[in-house]
Structure 1
């Protein structure tokens, strides 16, 4: 599924790459940038986390002609008075004007590096509203964002990821440069697809899918847990012996009626008690309205 996402994101799509301090998702973000440039797409990047030089490092010079980087790294809060781009400009109107400044035949792809920097200086509802407007506004074809999950509370991460049509959570692999990607993709019909793959990234940011993660170790641990008896060292017995089990099965529960008891209750024999009521003259009983004496 990771290869399918690298081949292109549908119009109006929103892809989030979730990483942590254990494994950085920036190389995978560059892989998506490289794949989009190979498809001759125009890309606008909001650069908050790293400098423009570091972001361009490893990209082909010929591809950077369709790459428009908006530097928010040097002065993200506008303290110098002449910033290139600030976090306060993260709004639908400002981003639409920014994208339209470059002449292009089709809508561009907007890359945000990273959403965490914006979430540290703007409220989550405002960020989510802008992202939703970008998806449906038509100014950009798709949005790709990097999100550092260990920098935010779980509710903030969940709110932003809820907007994503595709979600990639990356974690370190077992060997060398291997990494594990847990992919969740939501189709327009509402169907949710999930997959987990082991991949590696080459120096030119091409992604190679190696294999599916092996769950043999997890199964072994589960088998060991099943074989372990948690009641082995208890001071009392939780199991019944054969004789105790036989006695339990023969025991008649008080709420279970035998055939003889059911017959006796449904067909009372002679001598059974009955209650007979004969109204007298003072009862004032009306046959047409039996409830006449009730205050209703």
Structure 2
């Protein structure tokens, strides 16, 4: 699935690369920039965290002319008199104006490095609204953003991920040059596809998908745990043999009445005893006042 995403996102798509302190997703972001340039697309980059030189490192060829940077790295908060781009200019009107300044008939891809900078200085609803308007407004064909998930609250990350059509969560792999990508892609019909792949990035920013992560060791451990008998080392036996189980089933419990016993108790047969009481003359019994003999 990672190779398919690199080949091109659908029109109106929003691809989110989610990383953490364990693994930086900027190299993968640069691979997506290179892939978009190879498709002869125009790429606009809003860079807040690194310089233009660092982002262009590894990107070579004549297609660099279709790469346009909006520098928010030197003065992201507008402290100088003439800032190039600030975090407060992250609005639909400003971004659409900057994209239209470059007269190209080719599709435009907007890259944001990173959304964490914007979310730290603007409210999440405002940022999500701007991203949604960019997707639907037609100013850009696709949006690719980098998000540092461990810098924000879970609700903020969930809101941005819910807005994205594709989410790539990167984490370190077993080897030094490997990484694991957990991918989630939502189609226009609403179908959600998920996958997990191991990949590496070469010096020319080419992504090599190697294989899916192996969980064989974990499955073997689970099987061993299931096969372990917790009653093996007990000093008494908790299991019944077939003979003991058969005897247990035939045993009549004292509080369980059989059908014959119930019949004998409920229906008296011949020869059963009864108690009859006949009052004598000394009994002072008044039917109208049964409690007359009480000293009340």
Q: TM-score normalized by structure 1? A: 0.81
Residues 1:46 and 2:49 are matched in the alignment = no
Structure 2 matches for 1:107-186, cutoff 5 A? Answer: 107-186=107-186
The 1:55/1:252 distance shift into structure 2, 3 A limit, reads farther
- Using the TM superposition, give the Cα deviation of residue 29 of structure 1 relative to its aligned residue in structure 2, in angstroms: 0.4
- 1:30 matched residue in structure 2: 30
Q: How many Å separate the matches in 1 of 2:83 and 2:128? A: 24
Q: Could you list the runs of 5+ residues in structure 2 that have no partner in the other structure?
A: 270-296
Which residue pairs with 1:279 in the alignment?
none
Aligned residue in 1 for 2:59: 59
Instruction: Indicate the larger mover: 29-38 or 208-217.
Output: 208-217
- Deviation digits for residues 102-147 of structure 1 (CA, Å, limit 9, x no counterpart): 1011441000000111111111111111111111010000000001
Q: Distance in 2 between matches of 1:244 and 1:95?
A: 81
Contact 1:13/1:141 (CA < 8 Å) preserved in 2? Answer: yes
Change (3 A) 1:229 1:59: same
Could you give the per-residue CA deviations for residues 205-262 of structure 1, whole angstroms, max 9, x where no partner exists?
Answer: 011111121111111221222133456688998x453477546645799xx999x69x
Give distance in 1, aligned partners of 2:236 and 2:132.
60
Summarize the Cα distance change of 1:227–1:66 in structure 2 as closer, same or farther, 3 Å threshold: same
- Alignment-derived partner of residue 189 in structure 1: 189
Measured in 2, the distance between the counterparts of 1:236 and 1:123 equals 65
Inter-partner Cα distance in structure 2 for 1:149 and 1:257: 67
| Contact 2:40-2:106 within 8 A present in 1 as well | no
CA contact under 8 A between 1:107 and 1:138: conserved in structure 2?
Answer: no
Question: How many angstroms apart in 2 are the aligned matches of 1:114 and 1:225?
Answer: 44
What is the aligned residue count?
A: 264
User: Where does the alignment leave 5 or more consecutive residues of structure 1 unmatched?
Assistant: 272-296
Root mean square deviation of aligned Cα: 2.7
Query: How does 1:232-271 map onto structure 2 within 5 Å?
Result: 239-242=238-241, 245-246=245-246, 249=249
CA deviation map 1:73-97 (0-9, x unaligned): 1000001121111111111111111
1:94 aligns with 2:94: yes
Report the secondary structure of 2:5's partner residue: helix
Check 1:168–1:251 CA distance in 2 against 1; reply closer, same or farther (3 A cut): farther
Change (3 A) 1:241 1:109: same
Helix, strand or coil at the partner of 1:120: helix
In the alignment, the residues of structure 2 paired with residue 119 and residue 236 of structure 1 have an alpha-carbon distance, to the nearest angstrom, of: 63
State the distance in 1 between where 2:252 and 2:160 align.
Answer: 59
Q: Distance in 1 between matches of 2:19 and 2:85?
A: 24
Question: How many angstroms apart in 2 are the aligned matches of 1:60 and 1:114?
Answer: 22
Q: For residues 50 and 117 of structure 1, what CA distance do their matches in structure 2 show?
A: 11
What is the TM-score with the length of structure 2 in the denominator? 0.81
Would the aligned equivalents of 1:43 and 1:109 in 2 still touch at CA under 8 Å? Answer: yes
Matched residue of 1:18: which SS? strand
Aligned to 2:12: 12
